[in-house]
Amino acid sequence: MSIDNTDRRILRRLQREGRITNADLAASVNLSASACHRRVQHLEEQGYIRDYVAMLNPRKIGLPATIFVEITLSTQADEVLESFEKAVARIPNVLECHLMAGTADYILKVVAEDTEDFARIHRQYLTRLPGVSQMQSSFALRTVFKTTALPLDD
């Protein structure tokens, strides 16, 4: 299924304001409420809309530190990749894990209370990940820009 400009306007608006009422969404994209509802349902069924979530403020939650961890594995054998990915998915403070092309095999995005908390996460979880031969951590000093909205061209 391909999406048209109206679908893109719906998706853009939902990315910015996921709790918008159907009536307000319909008005903002120039549709009737029933037509808008049908389109949103179709976008959900087709997998364009994966989930609805609340974006929490990490500072209010007590996890203001963001750390990016580059990980190099000892080998890229399928069983090593699979066991690493399964293990890293169980670490509560890891928000993202990306298989990379380049010098590192994986990059993780980790949140922590502070450097001491990250040391605990590192000691308790990261050093126990299977197949790791090298690890380098970088603390973000300040988040300059952050979005979850994907670009949707007309």
Number of domains observed in the structure of the chain: 2
73 found inside a domain: yes
Are both 77 and 122 inside the same structural domain?
A: yes
- CA–CA gap between residue 52 and residue 11 (Å, rounded): 12
The CATH number given to whatever domain includes residue 10 is: 1.10.10.10
53 is a domain residue: no
Where in the sequence is the domain holding 13, given as residue range(s)?
5-45
pTM: 0.90
Distance CA 99, CA 91 (A): 16
Q: Where are the extended beta strands (E) located within the chain? A: 65-73, 94-99, 106-112, 132-139
The pLDDT profile of the chain, 154 residues, written as one tens digit per residue, is 689 999 999 999 999 999 999 999 999 999 999 999 999 999 999 999 999 999 999 999 999 999 999 999 999 999 999 999 999 999 999 999 999 999 999 999 999 999 999 999 999 999 999 999 999 999 999 999 999 999 998 6
| Domain-located, residue 79 | yes
Measured CA to CA, the distance from residue 113 to residue 88 in angstroms comes to 19
